[in-house]
Amino acid sequence: MAEAHQAVGFRTSLTSDGAEVELSAPVLQEIYLSGLRSWKRHLSRFWNDFLTGVFPASPLSWLFLFSAIQLAWFLQLDPSLGLMEKIKELLPDWGGQHHGLRGVLAAALFASCLWGTLIFTLHVALRLLLSYHGWLLEPHGAMSSPTKALVRIFSGRHPMLFSYQRSLPRQPVPSVQDTVRKYLESVRPVLSDEDFDWTAVLAQEFLRLQASLLQWYLRLKSWWASNYVSDWWEEFVYLRSRNPLMVNSNYYMMAARAGNAVHALLLYRHRLNRQEIPPTLLMGMRPLCSAQYENIFNTTRIPGVQKDYIRHLHDSQHVAVFHRGRFFRVGTHSRNSLLSPRALEQQFQRILDDPSPACPHEEHLAALTAAPRGTWAQVRRSLKTQAAEALEAVEGAAFFVSLDAEPAGLTREDPAASLDAYAHALLAGRGHDRWFDKSFTLIVFSNGKLGLSVEHSWADCPISGHMWEFTLATECFQLGYSTDGHCKGHLDPTLPRPQRLQWDLPDQIHSSISLALRGAKILSENVDCHVFPFSLFGKSFIRRCHLSSDSFIQIALQLAHFRDRGQFCLTYESAMTRLFLEGRTETVRSCTREACNFVRAMEDKEKTDPQCLALFRVAVDKHQALLKAAMSGQGVDRHLFALYVVSRFLHLQSPFLTQVHSEQWQLSTSQIPVQQMHLFDVHNYPDYVSSGGGFGPADDHGYGVSYIFMGDDMITFHISSKKSSTKTDSHRLGQHIEDALLDVASLFQAGQHFKRRFRGSGKEDSRHRCGFLSRQTGASKTSMTSTYF
């Protein structure tokens, strides 16, 4: 998602006013503290660790084992082979009527030791099994039966959300030689011969002088801490970034209805606290790390002058609500039980009916959360002194709710423009109506449409996406609405009214609010968002071609971007590394030599369709290999990032690592996963499914592109760019993406009719037409026309 922008800017997070900020802590101390933080996280979840520590067995299994031993002892059988007698000898002899207690205690101790040994053996076996990634190399869509059977044997019957955490393997540190080789291979298509030769010289110098030392520290950290890179990624890429969160870091998600959404979100939190959410299983059998779920609710990113930190509360029984420049505190519980959907609706209606005006500067106060982080940190110190209670009510809320006074969402009168405006409203709003520090803001528009604005540092998109899917399905299909359109349930006249928050804003921060608002509006107005559903084909057609759907789209994006810009560029695709404990993401560098060869062939009139198809399959296979390598911990960028951080701790200057982390990602891409399709009926109720989400571009002259497969026959794309750039145009790239998808599909015999349908709509053939040339001749922006649901 938006992490590409943060990854590009993370070097600047180590600078202050143009001067390098030295990381003063010795590297060994930092590695020690990383491990200490890991152990503290484990200890803070002591009860959860107890529950998951006995997985795949349960506490009842201990009772069963103890009863079996007692029964055997009663039948004068000794399953311990004399060990229980030795244990009895070590126990004190209480004599008299307590003589039999020694036998019971001995049996209990033996049962506990035997039970613990069995559990430990199962854990080790499961960790060894999960450390095997050979199944990733099996053909796409296939998995050997022995692999599935072994996982099921050691996984237990009813795992809870965090049950697998102690069995997940640690993320491996790749070979530094392999990483450098893969890096050089990835930049070859986008560098001139001279630049590539110079980069290769820097790489060889790095391998000769510095690599082994830096690698040794990473291996030490991988042994001591839970993950050798994730905590540094969170700190240096997110929390140390001084850029505004709006557009640069936060991302958004769409939906089609409101009403019971707050209640559904709180139900999800209830299930999360009780670990009743099943763990996510890749391909139905391989568990993914669940650590990021812990910070969904009751979480705020607190600004600091040099570094932010994440504040997470164990519980919160209220939400913070913003409406027409006013802040309210709305309780979510009554007598320790969750308020009904109708009662929550009643509270929100009271806020809508409240005629009181906003206090001076209160209306634009939230613009401070969109300001540069250092500025906001300094202002927050004054705010914490003058308006501590109101600030705590917002930062300590379960989440933030923004009740917008304007409508948004898809309209049938102007579907293209309405979706674009919808995306922009979710990504940036008006710059002062979102509290961007909260883990997420629920945005409810006046026509009932809703969406999310999500802060990125605490977790990645699949986590918030999982919550959002549950919310939409619960809100629509389980809670429902009464015949008069209200939420189901009864009004509660005794319910206290929402509490209006009072901000005693000191005079010295008024200018800061105005300055932050001005900057937020400039940033918001500079974003060009474009959303379009592509409905001529989708995942089902790609499956019939026996190809990976993600790789299909990624290679088509390379073709579209080349037509748009006339050149190749470094491409960032986010891949997850949650196969490992506390894993987050890795980068797939999608602009490969194989993809470039295919694009050149598509733009060459002398190349035939079979030749292009052969090159396309080679490019797809290469992308799949890169994706699998990234998922199995053998990617390039996170390893190079960690090496660079260690070099900074050691105060070593590495021209090679410096060059690596000064690269610009002009095309940043991400697929929005649909993880719970069983909750939705896409064919009969398409309006109830999320249309995905998007993020801002990683580069001032680049694009941010996300996509989601909605069912089998639709793909929705979200494109963003900067209006200030003369090189980019989100609508133009959208047109090229549609053309590229049809051109690629026409290479397959089964896909040729899509292009005939497209031509029948009056659009010209895009094959051999270069978008860069049409832009150079002064072609105007094109508006997107497409088939909508």
Query: Parallel, antiparallel, or unpaired: how do β-strands 326-331 and 450-454 relate?
Result: unpaired
C-alpha to C-alpha distance for 298 and 295, rounded to whole angstroms = 7
By C-alpha distance, which of 674, 344, 398, 387 is closest to 538?
Answer: 674
| Distance, CA of 346 to chain centre | 33
At 624, list the tokens: 């799949």
Query: Which is it for the CA torsion 744, 750, 751, 753, positive or negative?
Result: positive
By C-alpha distance, which of 275, 270, 400, 259 is closest to 338?
Answer: 270
Other CB atoms within 10 Å distance of the CB of residue 761: 10
Catalytic residue among 323, 361, 432, 456: 456
Which H/E stretch holds residue 707? Answer: strand 703-709
C-alpha to C-alpha distance for 52 and 209, rounded to whole angstroms = 45
As a three-state string, the secondary structure of 199-227 is HHHHHHHHHHHCHHHHHHHHHHHHHHCCC
Query: Parallel, antiparallel, or unpaired: how do β-strands 703-709 and 667-671 relate?
Result: parallel
**How distant, in Å, are the alpha carbons of 559, 605, 693 from that of 448?**
38, 51, 18
By C-alpha distance, which of 185, 8, 190 is closest to 569?
Answer: 190
C-alpha to C-alpha distance for 428 and 658, rounded to whole angstroms = 32
C-alpha to C-alpha distance for 13 and 307, rounded to whole angstroms = 9
- Tell me if residue 487 falls in helix, strand or coil: strand
- Tell me if residue 661 falls in helix, strand or coil: coil
What residues contact residue 494 under an 8 Å CB cut-off, 6+ apart? none
Query: Parallel, antiparallel, or unpaired: how do β-strands 326-331 and 499-500 relate?
Result: antiparallel
By C-alpha distance, which of 249, 141, 253 is closest to 716?
Answer: 253
456 is catalytic: yes
The values of phi and psi at residue 78, to 5°, are -120, 90
Residue type, 626: L
C-alpha to C-alpha distance for 369 and 652, rounded to whole angstroms = 35
Where does residue 194 rank: exposed (0-12), middle (13-18), buried (19+ CB within 10 A)? exposed
Going by the DSSP 8-state scheme, the letter that residue 319 receives in this structure is E
Contact status, residue 196 vs residue 223, Cβ threshold 8 Å: no
Contact status, residue 472 vs residue 690, Cβ threshold 8 Å: yes
By C-alpha distance, which of 293, 264, 317 is closest to 578?
Answer: 293
Q: Which residues are catalytic?
A: 456
